[in-house]
Structure 1
Amino acid sequence: MTALRPLVQVEGLTKTFLSRGAVGGRVQTTKAVSNVSFAIGRSENLALVGESGSGKTTTGRLLLRLLDATSGMVRFDGTDIAALSRSALRPFRRRMQIVFQDPYSSLNPYLRVGDAVEEGLIIHGIGNAGQRRDRVAELFELVGLRAHQAERFPHEFSGGQRQRIGIARALAVNPEFIVADEPVSALDVSVQAQILNLLEELRRKLGLAMLFIAHDLAVVRYVATHVGVMYLGHIVEMATADRLFEATRHPYTEALLSAAPRLELGHGAERIVLSGDIPSPIDPPSGCPFRTRCRHARTECADAPMTLEAVGPDQVTACIRYREIYS
């Protein structure tokens, strides 16, 4: 994805959860993320999109070591952080941060928002009390709020303002990499564009690398440099944003694109409605995980192992029939 050494590099990332079933107490295996690989360069924004349950949030948490991987490698600036001890990992915590999905539950209701933003500075021993106070004021102005609002409590802000506070908190320790976990899905439509524009402006201004998690392809079209499409723990297609929207090469991506609101719908554009629900990761389908809902599925889709194939220099797909479907 980038000619230079990427800031974040993921290879063969897999996360399996073990749970005990309600009937008989049998141990069940849930593979939430399966053999995921990608790279994010400095100042790049990779978007992961897919339905709920596709493994996007789990992938983001694995990158930050909020969850430990079952197997695979997560390399940050050349260091495999998946193998680091807690003490060795601590310096990397400052370099990578997260913006959570829900701006309501992610802030302590009993803590002034300025104190919430300052917490990271205190934990990492950055500055004295006066310097931290100045930094908080600077961050509030940076995200479009007023410095004096730092003295208020979360209930005094709207959802969009709370998400701005969450962004300020993530930026407090000057990270190089941000995971934005569906940062606009809990917001009113009228506010979503403001937060998207703010994140993109900050990414460009501060040179941030970003993993942007979303379930709506329309949301990421104008902010992502690259897009990875996930289904049942697998990446089924990845490309530059321009390439993906112009020439998708996977039926699942095609269905997601058709679901995005567009002015031309009703004038010849096809709306693809997927039948059924996403299968259980406890008992996934053989072969292509999407085949049980794919209108192009054939017998060979159940037999062939799922692998990514290069379509061009900037695009890979897991569909073994893409040549027949999109020729």
Structure 2
Amino acid sequence: MKSGINAIIWEDSANKDYGMQNTGLKSPERTRPHHIAVLAYQGLCLFEFATVMEVLGNRPDASATAWYHLDVCSLEGAQVRATGGALVEATGGREALLSADSIIVPGWRLGPVPQEITSALLEAHAGGTRIASVCTGAFVLAAAGLLDGRRATTHWKYAGTLADAAPAATIEPGVLYIDEGNVVTSAGSVAGIDMLLHLMRRDHGVEASNKVARMMVAPPQREGGQAQFIEHTRPLKAAPAIGAVLDAIRRDPAGEHSVSEMALKAHMSTRTFFRRFKAATGHTPLEWILLERLRLAKDMLEYTDLTIDRIAFEAGFGAGDTFRHHFRRIVGASPIAYRRSFQTV
């Protein structure tokens, strides 16, 4: 029997507050553990796989009933070889996948997804199974068509590739995880822990999730999203004239850079420059300058003890409040929270 749980939707978006919407819903009483099938495959991403087993395999204490019953399921043989050469032995196959309340797909090996896997996921999903992915596991869901018409995420490095693989989906690279009810996706490897703790909150409540987080010495809910980890780089395909302007901005991101002056440097009309700049970078000139100023501010947060107001001035934001606003909006965390996580001095 599949779970009839009502979805409690969370959003870890850079533009929204974190926390559970006040739906008034409570986790249903269970007479048996929630059945989780963890997909194993040749070339299995071992870290993501082990994370699922560790987080969901936890229990309140040695004598308590487990919150989840975990099955390691493979459609590529009873034994699969994971990254690093470790052998993983499956406890179930297609039947266990189809009978599970939830299926979790760890990070995928990247490359074609066997039809046997996609058809099993589709059949399970049609029968009411919740499907979740960690990191590049989203590519498996995309191959099965499960992301079509939905929001989804993956590791920021592969977000563009996932968008190409799932054009009918809305890929959001700046979040830790996205819950679309019976399809849940997470960002890069460690964000899988955030998603798994979220699933535990859905299934068993905040107290259970907090107990597991405490045992793992992990925050029950992390502030921010993937945006704080993304490296902003110059596009490789920029035309020489645009590239020269980008280099000038990089040398002095805090300086005054009007669109007309940038167009003049590129020997283009303002309209042509604007169009070509956006085609090369994916951003308007002013958006690009803002990102460069944020990059400079991140460096100062990581490597200096300058005050927030001084960083705001040095990076070209002027007022500290303006800097804080843009930093939280785009990075998904406050400057102080970012410094606590990444400062190296």
More helix by share: 2
Larger Rg: 1 or 2? 2
Give the TM-score normalised by structure 1.
0.33
Give the TM-score normalised by structure 2.
0.31
More strand by share: 1
